[in-house]
Structure 1
Amino acid sequence: MKRSTLSVLLALLATFVAGPVPAAVAGGVQPLERAHAHNDYEHDRPLADARDRGFTSVEADVWLVDGELRVAHDLAGTRPGRTLRSLYLQPLAKLVRANGGHVYPRWRGSFQLLVDIKSDGPATYRAVDEALREFRHMLTQWVDGRERRGAVEVVISGNRPREDMLAQCVRRAGYDGRLGDLGGGASAGFMPLVSDNWTNNFTWQGIGPIPGPEREKLHRIVSQAHSAGYRVRFWATPDAAGEPREAVWRELVAAGVDHINTDDLAGLRQFLLANDPAER
């Protein structure tokens, strides 16, 4: 056997024994389990900017206009061709094909695509469901209540047609619940995520220590959600660079909040790499 061939075989054997190559080595960027890109489409390169920084969750606001699922924060900002399909579904499918069935090479997690419906809920959801059908090979799906994990998990937020989604035998998206849904008995297969407005539930904005009762409340919310199999996300947390933002982020990490919202991709990446034990 030639020495070069033997070297290759030995390297493969070493990889097998030692386990998978760490994601940061295998893909050039470390996937960050808590990093969520709020209003991701407002960045120069939707999806790409977030993925280049290791984000594992992105948010897209959608409006059903002239048969297109257009992505924009406001109706006035919608543009033909700037759609859920062109900005997110097609690029994600290309990544999954290129990376052997994963959004990040050799990363085993599911990438979350949070679709925030801004127009009429039932009509827009029907259009979303139809768009997802083309990309079902890469999506987490629920068939007669049984989950089939995929590289990408779509979750519906905003104007969520709960009853329409519950009635589906085959569903390609989960439901984004609210804190009021905790204890309501919804399965994690239907409601994988619970999100809510930070300012509606907490007075603390990162100035000084968090009040003890609010810290206890935060930990209680996360514990209750996790015991039911739900992930947790808050929006409207402080997002201006500075100590108040980092103080809130530290409390979110300590409590086990699953997705941390930001518009500052580089800032959250730097924070998580320095402060999140799961990323060290």
Structure 2
Amino acid sequence: MNTLSPLRTLPLFLALAVTPITYSGAQSTNHPAPLTRAHAHNDYEHKHPFFDAVEQGFCSVEADIHLVNGQLLVAHNSRDVDPAKTLQSLYLDPMRQRIKKNGGRLYANGPECTLLIDFKTEGKTTYAVLGKVLAEYSDILSVFKDGKLETNAITVVLTGGYSREAVKAQAMRYAVCDGKIPDLEKNPPANLVAWISEDWSKFFKWQGHGQMPVDEKERLIQFVTKAHEQGRRIRFWDAPDRPAFWKEMLADGVDLINTDDLKGFQTFYNSR
């Protein structure tokens, strides 16, 4: 079986979660090796969102947003929103602070990273507010002008209930979209749909115990190969979260490994 070529056309991804910038981790002297294939799933549910992830070297972190009274609040459920926990205070501001400290990158001399923003409220109205907020952070965010990408320290990727049409309509924007497996057949522009985010259980039964069935492995590699041919990355959510599964995903070319076990994944990855 041929080795898959590395994806060169898109930046690495950093999706984010939630932590007050008063947390001491913002000033940490820890300099971990960037984990370019690690995605901190629902990062905001950790004790110190964002900071715990970057202290382990994660290059992709996830924030769920709710539009409430004109503010973008970070929480998984609407009942958990807190006016103090905005996208700016929990992510964009500490990211900017860290990027300035590290000479223009989230990690000194490191890769571009991704903030994955998951829409939990209506797509068009939420994006109208988000677009204005992101423009205020143009100094750290990748920008898309007239179909061309100008990379920066952070690339924002949208998932969940966003409006793809609202994003597509902008000649200049600070975000790209994710897609689903059917998008591999439709093949939208990679500078609009930059990666594939899919539910593992919709296509696979294997849960990381024993050998992965041959037919499922072949199907997975087909998805990965097609995504890479189109210039996209691929990740799976609602997936097993254990070393045997991580090992198989890395071997088969999956770009971003979803995990809630930040320290466990770092230990696994660095000991390979």
TM-score range, shorter chain: 0.7 to 0.9
- Report what 1:261 is aligned to: 258
Correspondence for 2:97? 94
**Helix, strand or coil: the match of 1:119?**
coil
Q: Secondary structure at the match of 1:195?
A: strand
Bigger relative contact order, structure 1 or 2 (CA pairs below 8 A, ≥6 apart): 2
Structure 2: which amino acid aligns with 1:121? G
2:71 to 42, 45, 68: 68
Q: Deviations over 1:113-136 (max 9, x none)?
A: 000000111111111111101001
Deviation at 1:185, TM superposition (A): 2.4
**Greater helix share, 1 or 2?**
1
- 1:103 and 2:106 equivalent? yes
Kept after mapping to 2: 8 A contact 1:27/1:105: no
Aligned with 1:136: secondary structure?
A: coil
Name the residue aligned to 2:228.
226
Match of 1:166 among 165, 168, 172: 168
Partner of 2:62: 59
Q: Is the 8 A contact 2:243 2:265 kept in 1?
A: no
Shift of 1:44: 1.5
Cα distance per residue 1:1-46 (max 9 Å; x no partner): xxxxxxxxxxxxxxxxxxxxxxxxx972100111110111111211
Query: What is the match of residue 149 of structure 2?
Result: 147
Shift of the alpha carbon at 1:238?
Answer: 1.3
CA contact (8 A) 1:27 1:104 kept: no
Report the counterpart of residue 272 of structure 1 in structure 2: 269
Match of 2:189 in 1: 187
Aligned to 2:167, what secondary structure does the other structure show? helix
| CA deviation after TM superposition for structure 1 residue 51, in Å | 0.2
Unaligned segments of structure 2, at least 5 residues = 1-28
Secondary structure, aligned partner of 1:125: helix
Q: In the comparison of the two structures, how many residue pairs are matched? A: 244
Moved over 4 A (4+): none
Identity of aligned residues (%): 43
RMSD: 1.2
Query: How far apart in 1 are the matches of 2:124 and 2:83?
Result: 22
- Is the 2:122–2:162 Cα contact (8 Å) retained in structure 1? no
Given that residues 158 and 177 in structure 2 are in contact (C-alpha distance below 8 angstroms), is that contact kept between their aligned partners in structure 1?
Answer: yes
Unaligned runs of 5+ in 1: 1-25, 240-244, 276-280
Q: Specify the structure having the higher radius of gyration (Cα).
A: 1
Distance, in Å, in 2 between the alignment partners of 1:141 and 1:62 is 21
